[in-house]
């Protein structure tokens, strides 16, 4: 079946620190992989995506590489800002509009 395992939080970092949030997946076929971000009281916003092995998704300084050999899609950012404080969800989709989400990782960045 399809599932996503995501690093447990919460994560607290100082501004300008390096961020890694681990994500591994189990899937049938060749899924697309996503990172979504959720700010308090809001829905999910697409942060980045990758649709095939070795693709690198990037946006707003965040990056993640689709690693088929390790079934991973870890999120990284070189220097976090206070405005990056949010909950981050790793997700996969095999077809259409059906997503499988990880449990979410809460990130707090302190000045």
Partner 1 sequence: KAGVTQTPRYLIKTRGQQVTLSCSPISGHRSVSWYQQTPGQGLQFLFEYFSETQRNKGNFPGRFSGRQFSNSRSEMNVSTLELGDSALYLCATGTGRDTEAFFGQGTRLTVV
Shortest spacing between CB 10 and partner 1, in angstroms: 13
Cβ closest to partner 1, residue 49 vs residue 74: 49
22 binds partner 1 (CB under 8 A): no
DSSP track, 30-64: --EEEEEEE-TT--EEEEEEE-STT-EEEETTEEE
53 binds partner 1 (CB under 8 A): no
Residues 6+ apart with CB under 8 A from 69: none
Residues that bind partner 1 in the complex, under the rule CB under 8 A: 31-32, 36, 42-46, 49, 51, 89, 93-104
């Amino acid at each position: 079946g399809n599932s996503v395992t995501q690093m447990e939080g919460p994560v607290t970092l100082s501004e300008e620190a390096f961020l890694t949030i681990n994500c591994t997946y189990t899937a049938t076929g060749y899924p697309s992989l996503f990172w979504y971000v959720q700010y308090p009281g809001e829905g999910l916003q697409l942060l980045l995506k990758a649709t095939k092995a070795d693709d690198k998704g990037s946006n707003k300084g965040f990056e993640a590489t689709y690693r088929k050999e390790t079934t991973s899609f870890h999120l990284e950012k070189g220097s976090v800002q206070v405005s990056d404080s949010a909950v981050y969800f790793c997700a996969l989709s095999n077809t259409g509009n059906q997503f499988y989400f990880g449990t979410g990782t809460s990130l707090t960045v302190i000045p």
